[in-house]
Amino acid sequence: MVIKGEIDLSNNFLPGVAELANKGYVKTYFAGAPYMLSANTAVLFLNTTKKPMDDAKFRRALAFAIDVPSIVNVAYAQLVKAASPTGLLPSLSKFDDQTVLASLGYSFDKAKAKQMLADAGYKDINGDGFVEAPDGSAISLQVTCPSGWTDWMAAIDIIAASAQDAGIKI
């Protein structure tokens, strides 16, 4: 419908939008990446009623373990901007408290994630490359999204792979 001119406005994931715009099939809000204004923030929800996600230190380490630049550049083909730790859309970034973000925010840093896990008592006891909980119990998590949402499916693959690189079994 977009290519045929049967839709006037779309803010959905559109693979190949750069090529479509260059060929004149679609018009975009921005001339270059991310091509459109963000209309929502994709969020990874954790079940904080289950171990180890009930541990704020584990959750913070996980945040540093996730390769957000690859999610933006690979899974979403630069069609999005990285979400702010505040949850505010990029158009509202002027309201981000930079002091708070500097002390409480996060960014992709695998080494820091590993150190944070170790400092919180998460260690690889059995030598399989993945940390166990401080009580020695195994950690095995699952990340899911709706089937067919190809951008989200690619994003959760990156989430799982980058967390695994930091020693978290997902």
62-105 pLDDT, tens digit per residue, is 999 999 999 999 998 888 888 888 888 888 989 999 999 999 99
- Which pLDDT value is given to residue 1? 84
Q: Crossing angle of helices 150-165/56-65, nearest 10°?
A: 110
Q: Among residues 44, 42, 41, which one has the least CA distance to residue 141?
A: 44
Q: Is the dihedral of CA 78, 23, 10, 38 positive or negative?
A: positive
Query: Can you give the pLDDT of all 170 residues of the chain as single tens digits?
Result: 887 888 887 777 788 888 988 998 888 888 888 888 888 888 899 999 999 999 999 999 999 999 999 999 999 888 888 888 888 888 898 999 999 999 999 999 999 999 999 999 999 999 999 999 999 999 999 999 999 888 999 999 999 999 999 999 99
Query: What pTM value is reported for the model?
Result: 0.89
In whole angstroms, what is the distance from residue 24 CA to residue 38 CA?
Answer: 22
- Which pLDDT value is given to residue 169? 98
- Which pLDDT value is given to residue 106? 94
The CATH 3.10.105.10 portion of the chain extends over 40-165
Q: Crossing angle of helices 56-65/110-119, nearest 10°?
A: 160
- Which pLDDT value is given to residue 4? 83
The CATH superfamily of 40-165 is Dipeptide-binding Protein; Domain 3 (3.10.105.10)
